[in-house]
Chains A and B, each alone.
Chain A
Amino acid sequence: MSIPTDLKYTKSHEWVKTEADGNVSVGITDHAQELLGDMVFVELPQVGDTFTQKQECAVAESVKAAADVYSPVSGEVTEVNSALADNPENINQDAFGSWLFKLKPSNPAELEGLFDAAGYQALLDNEEH
């Protein structure tokens, strides 16, 4: 699958989308869902929780394993995607369309430090060797 160019990425395989209101949506990448296999449970943060960059903030569990999701930037949770509780397989079907939570970034400059699509692709290419 191609990597969307309108998103930013982390080394720990989260994607980040900046919305019109300045908040960011966060999900896990297609590569991450493929590694994990069939998703069966997502533990989401609560609205109002605050995280610093790279802090554990959610858990994605597949039949195989539990994987921590790290906050790509610092900020406060403004919304969570509760629909994933009943349909965690949505992540397998459309990883880049299945956001887990939204954050109001407290330090928007952190966004500049994330990978763009080309940078993330290079990371994946490296992992394969």
Chain B
Amino acid sequence: MLRKTPLNQTHREMNAKMVDFGGWDMPLHYGSQLDEHHKVRQDAGMFDVSHMLPIDIKGANARGFLRQLVANNVDKLSIPGKALYTCMLTPEGGVIDDLIVYFLSETWFRIVVNAGTADKDVDWIFKQRDAAAPGLEISPRRDLAMVAVQGPNARAKVWQVIPGAKAATEELKLFQSVTLNHFFIARTGYTGEDGFEIMLPAEESPAFWKALHGEGVAPAGLGARDTLRLEAGMNLYGQDMDETTSPLESGLGWTVDLKSERDFIGKQALLDSTVTQHLVGLLLLDRGVLRSHQKVVAQHDGREFEGEITSGGFSPTINQSIALARIAIEIVPDEEVHVLVRDKKLRAKVVKYPFVRNGKVLT
């Protein structure tokens, strides 16, 4: 039996093509994934991300608990509403999940975790809570729906729909949030465009979705969400990193705080590790489409290195195929490599990523 978000019926009414996404019945697209992609880059689109799970962490020592639970440093969160992107690691330094931490008050933090990992995350967090901070209250919030409204015109369209939202959010900077009546509004996203991720009571979400649609916000499915996040160079859990990979070899070193004195789960393992690989961007020079798990071969100073594509696909904005690949740290931007696609060796250029941000091609 597939799990359904509060917007399931609404998607069906809008002729969504539904797919099984890790046990959830989710919209893949509403007609054309490419059109939805372009709508987000050029105007505004909305995604149902209610399959992701908000978890509230409440209590006197919520901050202290998160200091040791996650790899980024929650002491960077000083203004209420501020958000932080981080990994949660195993003691061996593998990535259990990537998540966002919102600082609401000294006694209330909210984290949002991935759908496919939500159950194991909740188990892990309860286990850590029982061991380290038994007084903390941990509450998974399946009563909330979550809608991401993304694109250059996304904020203005949200302002048309939520009374008082303009005044409450106009001054919000990236990675900040506010609570406005029933709405929790964060200036975050997974597309490389401006916009909001909005949490609201599940039962109010169909009316909210339809109101946004009335303002011209295009419903967009998981297909466009994947091509947008890949162009934006954002990692996808389970493809670009998992429990067997180090964040330091997954393009996530910037989210790991090894400088402060603070101890956290997985820190010692990372300090003891030797980083030999990294994530790079690839731009396909030949015709074709890069896909995850394809082999990458690079010649460098007379040595041959093998790597693997972790996420690949067609970039609708660039109109060429792009990928993220894990390969030896010797291989750096501007080098040319080969990707094995079926029986062919296709040429690709190593590039910096993100590939696209705020509607502009960067590579």
Contact = CB atoms under 8 A, between A and B. Distances in A.
Given A59-B342, A63-B314, A64-B223, A38 B288 contact: no
Contacts of A38: 32-34
Interface string A6-46: 00000000000000000000000000000001101101000
Interface residues of A, number: 13
B289 A66 contact: yes
A59 B28 CA distance: 22
Given A37-B28, A37-B33, A85 B223 contact: no
A116 interface: no
A106 B141 CA distance: 64
A89 B38 CA distance: 15
| Interface bracket on B | 10 to 19
B21 to A, nearest CB: 12
Contacts of B33: 37-38, 63-64
Contacts, number: 37
B287 A41 contact: yes
A63 B288 contact: no
Interface in B289-321: 289, 291, 313-314, 316, 321
A100 to B, nearest CB: 15
A63 B313 contact: yes
A70 to B, nearest CB: 15
Given A63-B34, A63-B313, A85 B29 contact: no
Contact of B289 (A37, A40, A85, A92): A40
A43 B341 CA distance: 11
Contacts of A92: 32
A122 to B, nearest CB: 23
Q: Name, among B287, B314, B321, B342, the residue most crowded by chain A CB atoms within 10 Å (CB to CB).
A: B314
Interface string A50-93: 00000000010101101000000000000000000100010010
B342 A40 contact: no
A68 to B, nearest CB: 9
B50 interface: no
Interface string B1-33: 000000000000000010000000000110011
Contacts of B288: 41, 43, 61
B60 to A, nearest CB: 48
A66 B314 CA distance: 11
B97 to A, nearest CB: 25
Interface string B28-49: 1100111000000000000000
Interface of B: 17, 28-29, 32-34, 223, 227, 287-289, 291, 313-314, 316, 321, 342
3 tightest A-B contacts by CB? A40-B314, A38-B34, A61-B289
Given A37-B32, A43-B288, A61-B314, 12 more contacts: A37-B29, A37-B223, A41-B288, A41-B289, A61-B288, A61-B289, A63-B313, A64-B28, A64-B33, A66-B289, A66-B291, A85-B287
